[in-house]
Amino acid sequence: MLKVKNLQKNFGNLRALDNVSLEVEGNSVVGLIGPNGSGKSTLFNVVSGFYEKDRGEIYFKGERIDGLTPDAIAKKGLCRTFQIAKAPEKFTVLENMLLAAERQVGENPFAALFARRRINPVEKKNVERAIELLEILQLIDLKNEYAGDLSGGQKKLLSLGRIFMRNPDMILLDEPTAGVNPTLTMQLIKVIRELQKKEHKSVLIIEHSMKVISSICDKVFVLNFGQVIAEGTPDEIQQNDKVLDAYLGCA
């Protein structure tokens, strides 16, 4: 599904990504872990087109996507969330959900003026789907509140909601459960897992909680100082010396 080959990204003299290669197969959940500053979010930013790479190749569904703009990559079915959840201030929760919907009618002024009849049924369908998802995410009572007024955890939920609404082939989740309470976290994990199983989606997830990682991931990559230092099943990497060393700092 997603294949990253020898990716390199520098910020001045700092090498944020150093020859990173990894592969996410279709229909799987892959974790990406590593200490702070190890390059996880940078990798997301490069893959999703927000940063330009310095070297390397990125393939999605067999097509090369490095060099494309973020919106073009998202259109191909590779969508991401942000570590600091984006929450447009003067934009209600429901509007956020509708914004994310794919294949909308009336996204240009001409259609807005002359295709009123075709817009309404699509909008109605999208509202229905948004309501369903908001119920799952327990945001339904807040549907007409401004996203800027939500708590940090709720903003995280909303960004998941937008992604589910868009329903891409592959999702990049940047710490989706940070700041979300443990009960809801486990529910979210279940939702992500179910969605992935039912619709055969692929997920690449950055997460700090080992509990989340081991309950959801088929495979894990570990980054440290911009390099992949280990890969394997959650159980395997928990016993990997290099990984323990990176996290705990003891030889």
| 92 binds another protein, rule: CB under 8 A | yes
Within 13 Å of residue 237, how many CA atoms lie on the same side as its CB? 25
Stretch that binds another protein, among 65-73, 175-183, 207-215, 238-246 (CB under 8 A): 65-73
Question: Crossing angle, helix 116-136 and helix 93-100, to 10 degrees?
Answer: 120
CB 205 within 8 A of CB 29: yes
x/- string (CB under 8 A) for another protein, residues 146-185?
x---------------x---x-------------------
| 102 binds another protein, rule: CB under 8 A | yes
Phi, psi of 28 (to 5 degrees): -145, 160
| 90 binds another protein, rule: CB under 8 A | yes
| 142 binds another protein, rule: CB under 8 A | no
Interatomic CA distance for residues 229 and 223, integer angstroms: 6
| 84 binds another protein, rule: CB under 8 A | no
Minimum distance from residue 246 beta carbon to another protein (Å): 29
**Residue of 12, 36, 63, 89 that binds another protein (CB under 8 A):** 89
Stretch that binds another protein, among 5-13, 17-25, 64-72, 193-201 (CB under 8 A): 64-72
CB 89 within 8 A of CB 150: no
Within 13 Å of residue 121, how many CA atoms lie on the same side as its CB? 3
**Residue of 57, 74, 186, 218 that binds another protein (CB under 8 A):** 74
Phi, psi of 58 (to 5 degrees): -130, 130
Of 55 and 76, the one with the shorter C-beta distance to another protein is: 76
Strands (E) in the chain, as ranges, are: 2-11, 14-24, 29-33, 55-60, 63-64, 78-80, 170-174, 202-206, 219-224, 227-232
Of 126 and 224, the one with the shorter C-beta distance to another protein is: 126
Stretch that binds another protein, among 42-50, 59-67, 223-231, 232-240 (CB under 8 A): 42-50
Stretch that binds another protein, among 43-51, 53-61, 209-217, 237-245 (CB under 8 A): 43-51
CB 30 within 8 A of CB 234: no
Q: What pairs with residue 137 in β-bridges?
A: none
Interatomic CA distance for residues 65 and 3, integer angstroms: 10
Q: Between residue 119 and residue 138, which ones bind another protein under the rule CB under 8 A?
A: 119, 123-124, 127-128, 131
Interatomic CA distance for residues 60 and 3, integer angstroms: 6
| 111 binds another protein, rule: CB under 8 A | yes
Binding site for another protein (CB under 8 A): 48-50, 69-72, 74-75, 79-82, 86-92, 94-95, 98-100, 102, 104-109, 111-113, 116, 119, 123-124, 127-128, 131, 144, 146, 162, 166
